[in-house]
């Protein structure tokens, strides 16, 4: 049961009834974006009372029973109590707004900052009290300013500052100017928001220094506020204010990066939040609440959450979203792991709603991954982790997109696609089910992944060629029996006609430009790809500009033109028709017809990294086939142009 007497006594102590009526009216008419300075006597009274820090804490505790729906002894409601005791709710809310705004300034001392945290806590509790909607207690701007109190977490423990005697008192004009400079629009873009960096007063004003004890106390207060805010998100709906819900998501995502510690995979609010001491874990729990139908369109909320999490998953550092100068810091990797765990959590708990958003997230990960080896390796592993969480139908559609992506004119895209495919080959093959359309069933098989790798072994770029050949070599040398069986089933030499049934919709991989070495003297049939990029943008994949996005777009949707028309058939690699490892000792077949023929030519490549990869692949093929290669075939595997090889490669052979 709520205590009416204590409620009236506590609220009366705050003395908000003494606020000037015109001042309160101005605050409400300006939608909490600005306020005129209070009279000097009022400000002095607030400062002398310590900004009512302890009273605000007590107020929050007294309001809690009212927020749970309890009533007074005589059945009266909270709002009735305010009216009957001449405690204007508009004055109360305006008072909370003033404390929150003043305490959020960087020049605020520890006491005023603590008061702002407590005032935000009181406001969150106030909007949960039944009947608050009739009195219009919830206001998007004031709610967002209350959420912005969490930004002070990063301001704590900043470098040395000069203490000022009073963070509020100054000349009338100065205070008016400062108040106006703190105004913000309700909607903000995460990419441009500097977390913890508000529009400050004057650049020459120094902040107030905080002692270690003050910092510890404020962080404890913020942790308590976050617990209460997370509980609010579970019980209160923000469906009527989409901008407020998205702003809360933005702030929670930034809070999730403040502690570089593993948070696990349980983000549900089934456990007692009071037992959670990690601000990152609480932030993810709050995000899980927001990604639900009670706060609006669940697809929009999940997509927004993934948009804000993208920089964390890509391990981009700082507000400039830059890359690490050398090795990626361990803290950044931990933040990435936590964000990835949360995305996987949503895919498991809300599979239907999250699958489409995850597809958009994956596309942006592929098109925005930094072009650095360490970043590619870790982001590729993250892509594979998310792919494994997708149901078969969504996985097949995503693999169709990745195949198109692997044929893009951009070299970095083709290299990253090979990173993904190589990792996918180490995962168990998916089982077919009725959810996958017959035309998409091929994308679930390991043989399709191997064919994707082979399709890039004749790439126009040497880096892509060597990476693809190395990937195929790893498959051949793999101790995974499933991969071994797949390769043998695909490529073991056969007598008679080729074993695979032609697929009517297959379109051969576009031919790369080749230059025939003078020593070979053969026709135009499959030689060393020419190392030029001037015309390759069209020859790699004439449809690539229709299938893969450019960089730099927000995650509201897939990258530009990255969607796949379900009515349009995706051309499969020519290897899907009939590629044999080697039919007898015939080595003059085109790259798309004979693997050993292709590797033999790559062993004569002009680039040393391609030659090394090809020789290693040839060695692994011979080892795998064993007796299937007779002595004549073994001796013919290495091309006749051995003098063209450097000494190291001849010795290796």
> pLDDT tens digit string along 338-356?
999 999 999 999 999 999 9
| Angle at which helices 330-349 and 373-389 cross, to 10° | 20
SS (HEC) of 501-565: CCCCCCCCCCCCCECCCCCCCCCCCCCCECCCCCCHHHHCCCCHHHHCCCCCCCCCCCCCCCCCC
Contacts of 203 (CB under 8 A, 6+ apart): none
DSSP state of 83: H
CB-CB contact of 413 with 366 (8 Å)? yes
Q: Residue 376: name the closest of 417, 318, 330, 426 by CA.
A: 417
Tens-digit pLDDT profile for residues 231-273: 999 989 999 899 999 999 999 999 999 888 888 887 877 667 8
- Residue 576 pLDDT: 38
Rounded to the nearest 10 degrees, how much is the dihedral formed by the CA atoms of 287, 241, 88, 131?
A: -80
With the CA atoms of 16, 17, 18 and 22 taken in that order, what torsion angle do they form, in degrees rounded to the nearest 10?
100
How many CA atoms lie less than 13 Å away from 201 in the CB half-sphere?
22
pLDDT of residue 638: 52
Question: Residue 409's closest CA among 461, 466, 451?
Answer: 461
Residues of the chain with pLDDT under 70: 157-207, 270-271, 320, 491-593, 626-653
What pLDDT is recorded for position 559?
Answer: 59
How far apart, in whole angstroms, are the C-alpha atoms of residue 231 and residue 130? 16
| Cα–Cα distances in angstroms (integers) from residue 602 to residues 104, 529, 583, 621, in the given order | 64, 9, 18, 14
pLDDT value, residue 494:
46
pLDDT digits (tens, 9 = 90+) for 130-147: 999 999 999 999 999 999
Residue 557 has a pLDDT of: 57
> What pTM value is reported for the model?
0.80
Angle at 177 between CA 200 and CA 219, to 5 degrees: 35
pLDDT at residue 196, as a whole number: 46
CB-CB contact of 587 with 640 (8 Å): no
């Amino acid at each position: 049961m709520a205590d009416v007497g204590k409620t009236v006594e506590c609220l009366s102590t705050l003395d908000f009834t003494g606020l000037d009526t015109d001042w309160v009216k101005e605050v409400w008419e300006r939608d909490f974006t600005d306020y005129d300075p209070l009279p000097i006597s009022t400000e002095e009274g607030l400062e002398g009372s310590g900004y009512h820090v302890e009273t605000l804490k007590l107020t929050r505790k007294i309001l809690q029973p009212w927020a749970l729906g309890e009533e007074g002894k005589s059945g009266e409601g909270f709002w009735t109590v305010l009216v009957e005791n001449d405690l204007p709710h508009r004055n109360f809310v305006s008072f909370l707004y003033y404390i929150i705004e003043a305490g959020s300034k960087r020049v605020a001392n520890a006491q005023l900052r603590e008061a702002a945290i407590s005032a935000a806590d009181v406001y969150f509790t106030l909007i949960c009290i039944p009947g608050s909607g009739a009195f219009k207690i919830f206001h998007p701007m004031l709610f967002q300013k209350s959420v912005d109190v969490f930004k002070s977490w990063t301001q704590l423990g900043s470098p040395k500052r000069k203490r000022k005697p009073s963070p509020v008192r100054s000349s009338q004009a100065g205070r008016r100017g400062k108040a106006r400079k703190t105004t913000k629009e309700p909607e903000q873009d995460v990419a441009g928001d500097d977390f913890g960096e508000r529009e400050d007063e004057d650049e020459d004003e120094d902040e107030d220094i905080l002692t270690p004890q003050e910092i510890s106390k404020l962080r404890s207060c913020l942790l308590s506020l976050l617990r209460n805010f997370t509980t609010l998100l579970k019980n209160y709906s923000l469906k009527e204010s989409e901008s407020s819900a998205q702003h809360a998501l933005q702030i929670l995502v930034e809070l999730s990066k403040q502690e570089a510690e593993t948070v696990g995979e349980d983000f549900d609010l089934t456990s007692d939040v009071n037992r959670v001491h990690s601000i990152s874990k609480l932030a993810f729990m709050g995000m899980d609440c927001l990604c639900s139908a009670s706060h609006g369109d669940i697809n929009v909320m999940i997509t927004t959450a993934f948009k804000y999490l993208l920089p964390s998953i890509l391990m981009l550092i700082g507000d400039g979203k830059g890359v690490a100068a050398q090795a990626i810091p361990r803290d950044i990797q931990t933040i990435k792991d936590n964000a990835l765990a949360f995305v996987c959590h949503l895919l498991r708990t809300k599979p239907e709603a999250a699958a489409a958003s995850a597809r958009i997230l994956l596309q942006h990960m592929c098109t925005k991954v930094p072009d650095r080896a360490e970043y590619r390796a870790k982001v590729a592993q993250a892509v594979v982790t998310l792919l494994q969480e997708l149901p078969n139908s969504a996985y097949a559609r995503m693999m169709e997109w990745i195949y198109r992506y692997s044929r893009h004119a951009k070299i970095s895209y083709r290299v990253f696609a090979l990173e993904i495919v190589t990792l996918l080959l180490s995962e168990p093959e998916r089982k077919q089910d009725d959810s996958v359309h017959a035309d998409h069933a091929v994308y679930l098989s390991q043989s399709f992944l191997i064919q994707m790798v082979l399709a890039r072994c004749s790439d126009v770029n040497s880096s892509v060629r060597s990476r693809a050949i190395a990937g195929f070599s790893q498959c051949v040398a793999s101790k995974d029996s499933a991969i071994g069986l797949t390769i043998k089933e695909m490529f073991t030499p056969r007598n008679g006609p080729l074993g695979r049934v032609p697929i009517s919709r297959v379109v051969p991989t576009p031919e790369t430009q080749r230059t025939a070495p003078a020593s070979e003297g053969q026709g135009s049939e499959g030689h060393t790809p020419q190392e030029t990029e001037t015309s390759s943008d069209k020859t790699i994949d004439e449809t690539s500009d229709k299938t893969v996005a450019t960089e730099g777009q927000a995650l509201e949707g897939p990258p530009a033109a990255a969607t796949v028309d379900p009515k349009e058939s995706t051309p499969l690699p020519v290897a899907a028709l009939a590629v044999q490892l080697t039919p007898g000792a015939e080595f003059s077949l085109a790259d798309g017809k004979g693997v050993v023929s292709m590797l033999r030519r790559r062993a004569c490549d002009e680039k040393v990294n391609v030659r090394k990869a090809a020789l290693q692949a040839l060695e692994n093929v011979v080892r795998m086939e064993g007796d299937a290669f007779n002595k004549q075939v073994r001796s013919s595997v290495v091309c006749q142009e051995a003098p063209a090889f450097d000494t190291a490669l001849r010795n290796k052979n």
